Amino acid sequence: MKASQLLGLSFVLLCGGAVADELTDADQFVAAKDYARALPIYTKLAASGNAVAQFHLGELYWYGEGTPVDTAKADELFRKAADAGVTEARQALQLTPQRAANQAKIDYYTRAYDGADIRLSKFNCVKPVIPDVSTTSEDIKKTAASIDAWQNCYKGFVNNLTTLLPVGKAIPADLQNLMTDEEIAAAVGRMDKAYATAAADAKVEADAFMKAQDAWQEKTNSHVISANAKTASDLEQRRLEIERFNAQNRDNGVGRTAPLLSNGR
């Protein structure tokens, strides 16, 4: 039930004690969504001319709670309650024309919603071309940056999907107020499947991406380790060559200070 379920205390005070108790019981049943027990109470009191019960019974008929939807009967009950001074009933009389004006939106959520607005493709994440291996510092930085960009975009997709939970939250509140319980259930069921499909498809893409990233990282790390080891080996070889060169020069007297001449010569 979308409209206010409890009217002001003044309405209760206008009722007799037994009637007030019955209204309270019916309201509690509605709050617990036990519409089957609330319906006969409201029906009995509405038939006796109780305007508050007429309004609430109209809500049950309008939204299809515990009874098939019957907007014509609901509007009749709303009109009786409104004539008796129930403000909420006057407002409820606008539900049917507002619903007619928004029928296309209601049909979209109940019959046509496919989750296109929340799919990963909607975020235009630029999927990087991950090479088999990167052999230069520049290529490593470029590939790593593109990987980070895609991951951040993917996180945006996940965060957006999370903010839309529980399923049905994305339906505007004013539109939900114009939908029957059956329609909301249909919309939620449809959206739940669309969300699950979007999440599953995104996971397949993310898994493939992570697999390519892991392979690239493993091969690139291996290349870097191998290249560093070769560099270290080359440096050691160069050091040894320099030492041998210096040793040969020392043996040949190259670079020594010439000895002083004796006998004053």
User: How far is it, in rounded angstroms, from Cα 71 to Cα 114?
Assistant: 29
Predicted structure pTM score = 0.72
pLDDT of residue 84: 95
Q: Are 194 and 114 in contact (CB under 8 A)?
A: yes
CB atoms within 10 A of CB 167: 17
Which residue did the predictor score with more confidence, 8 or 100? 100
User: How far is it, in rounded angstroms, from Cα 19 to Cα 251?
Assistant: 122
Q: Are 191 and 146 in contact (CB under 8 A)?
A: no
pLDDT of residue 1: 44
Mean pLDDT, range 204-220, rounded to an integer: 94
Mean pLDDT, range 13-27, rounded to an integer: 72
The closest alpha carbon to 38, from 20, 55, 24, 49, belongs to: 24
Helix then strand then coil, % of the chain, to nearest 5: 70, 0, 30
Domain ranges within the chain, ordered by starting residue:
9-101, 115-250
pLDDT in tens, 119-144: 999 999 998 899 999 999 999 999 99
User: Quick one: fold of 9-101?
Assistant: 1.25.40
**Interacting residues of 109 by C-beta distance below 8 A, sequence separation 6+:** 171, 175, 179, 183, 187, 190, 191
Q: Are 187 and 108 in contact (CB under 8 A)?
A: no
Which residue did the predictor score with more confidence, 113 or 1? 113
pLDDT of residue 2: 52
The closest alpha carbon to 77, from 55, 98, 62, belongs to: 55
Mean pLDDT, range 158-180, rounded to an integer: 95
Q: How confident is the model at residue 7 (pLDDT cuts 50, 70, 90)?
A: very low
User: How far is it, in rounded angstroms, from Cα 110 to Cα 100?
Assistant: 15
If 0-12 CB within 10 Å is exposed, 13-18 middle and 19+ buried, where does residue 37 land? middle
pLDDT of residue 260: 38
Length of the chain: 265
- Among 5-9, 195-199, 238-242, top mean pLDDT goes to 195-199
User: Residue 256: pLDDT above 70?
Assistant: no
Strands (DSSP E) found in 44-149: none
DSSP 8-state assignment for residue 122: G
pLDDT in tens, 58-96: 999 999 999 999 999 999 999 999 999 999 999 999 999
Q: Point out the least confidently predicted range of 40-44, 62-66, 225-229, 257-261.
A: 257-261
User: How far is it, in rounded angstroms, from Cα 179 to Cα 251?
Assistant: 101
pLDDT in tens, 45-60: 999 999 999 999 999 9
Q: Are 120 and 198 in contact (CB under 8 A)?
A: yes
pLDDT of residue 136: 92
Q: Point out the least confidently predicted range of 5-9, 211-215, 220-224.
A: 5-9
User: Residue 249: pLDDT above 80?
Assistant: no
User: How far is it, in rounded angstroms, from Cα 86 to Cα 35?
Assistant: 22
